[in-house]
Amino acid sequence: MGLANIAHKQIVKGLIFLAIEIAYIAYMVNAGAYYISMLPSLGWRKQEEVFNEQKQIYEYVAGDQSVLLLLYGVITIAITVLFIYMWCENLKSGYKAECLSKAGKEINSFGKDVKDLFDKNLHKTLMFLPLMGIFVFTVLPLLFMIPMAFTNYSVKGDHLVLFDWTGFASFGQVLGLGGKLGKIFWRVLGWTICWAVFATFLCNFLGLILAIVINRKETHCKAFWRTCFVISIAVPQFVSLLVMRQMFQPQGAVNNLLLEWGWIDNPLPFWTNTMWARVSVILINCWVGIPYTMLQVTGVLQNVPSELYEAAKIDGANAAQIFFKITLPYIMFIMGPYIITQFTGNINNFNVIYLLSAGKPTPVGDSAGKTDLLVTWLYKLTIDNQEYNIGAVIGILTFVVLSIVALVTYRNTKSYKDEEGFM
């Protein structure tokens, strides 16, 4: 690599390409080739206690760790793909230099290329760090999680240190209706979708109503009312949720107050009854989410062209017609992508569920509670039960479904189809 650039007097660029090639070869010789070769087996040597004749003591001989072999193998593959990309860039650079030389044109020096990175190629410079961040913190973990789903990496069968490839066995356990794990998955999936629909609809509907009511000309002290509702945003969410969790305990403030007033004879089962727990988390989520929607809608309402309202009134439209023909379409045009984002966020809303109910009530022997979402169940499977292969399967399924739903829905919104205007 870099020979063509060096031949055309692009010495620094050529040496950089050459250094990349040398570094890659050195890495592959010292470690990379070994990690690639270990991917098919994921290791087989167990940690053993061996007697050292010379020292007359027993010593532990380190064995293979499948998770590290898998991780380093994935990283090596990623490095190889990156090297192939740099090799293609090297060919393009050399070909470009050759064409310029034959045409009798000036070939850019290294200094000119660097200067271009802050001029006509500034977009590449600005996007470099964000793209590297996405690659390191999003793509690589995803690439590591995907092959994990095809193994038996789990505490079951003592496969935490050494594990093997098992194909689609883990997917069969999760998606199959015959086994216990499959039944839990479909139950949790059903509740997750139900939760996301209700949480998204209620927060947006009530936030919309609240914003419209406060934004009316007849409403006085608008800033005061907005401030009152925004206070719930100012308080850290985890603090609010933990306080709510304690308030709705059997001996919490809410039950004690209702008992003192004589409205109930026994504490209400906010967290011990399935229906009560599900309704409670949805309503409390409204307390957290409505102010965000209210602020978003308020900003939209204040930017609706007044000419539209004036023209509608001249044409004899009443308040309901103005709302459904002008205000609501304008809001949905602006808020469409936000609602899609909020729905996908609610699917993965770990904080509200885990901090309020912790997924409870949990049937005896089940790994997921009645209010667990896929994301909280995934957390329990990996952190509490150490079933990493099943957790990886759930993570993959969630990622695939959400990606498809979000992209298809967004591409069918008016915000995407008509970016120039809303009418």
Closest of 300, 303, 292, 326 to residue 200, by C-alpha: 292
| CA trace torsion 62, 64, 66, 71 (10° rounding) | 80
Are 111 and 184 members of one domain? no
pLDDT value, residue 415: 72
pLDDT value, residue 274: 93
Q: Is residue 240 part of a domain?
A: yes
Give CA–CA dist 26/39, Å, rounded.
20
Are 135 and 187 members of one domain? no
Are 141 and 264 members of one domain? no
Are 267 and 354 members of one domain? yes
Q: Is residue 166 part of a domain?
A: no
- Which H/E stretch holds residue 50? strand 48-52
pLDDT value, residue 187: 93
For 85-136, write each residue's pLDDT tens digit: 999 989 988 888 888 888 888 787 878 888 888 888 888 888 989 999 998 8
Are 208 and 132 members of one domain? no
pLDDT value, residue 420: 60
pLDDT value, residue 70: 93
φ, ψ of residue 163 to 5 degrees: the values are: -140, 170
Residues of the chain scoring pLDDT < 70: 48-52, 56, 58-61, 417, 419-423
The CATH number assigned to the domain holding 297 equals 1.10.3720.10
Give CA–CA dist 262/258, Å, rounded.
6
Give how many domains the chain has, as a whole number.
2
pLDDT value, residue 7: 84
User: How far is residue 160 from each of residues 34, 148, 152, measured CA to CA in Å?
Assistant: 21, 12, 9
- Crossing angle, helix 274-301 and helix 180-215, to 10 degrees? 40
Give CA–CA dist 66/7, Å, rounded.
46
Whether 50 and 59 have beta carbons less than 8 Å apart is answered as: yes
Identify the domain containing residue 192 by its residue range.
171-417
Are 98 and 196 members of one domain? no
For 320-336, write each residue's pLDDT tens digit: 888 888 888 888 888 88
Are 80 and 187 members of one domain? no
Are 207 and 316 members of one domain? yes
Can you give the pTM of this predicted structure?
0.83
Q: Is residue 160 part of a domain?
A: no
Token pair of 236, please? Answer: 């850290």
Are 275 and 340 members of one domain? yes
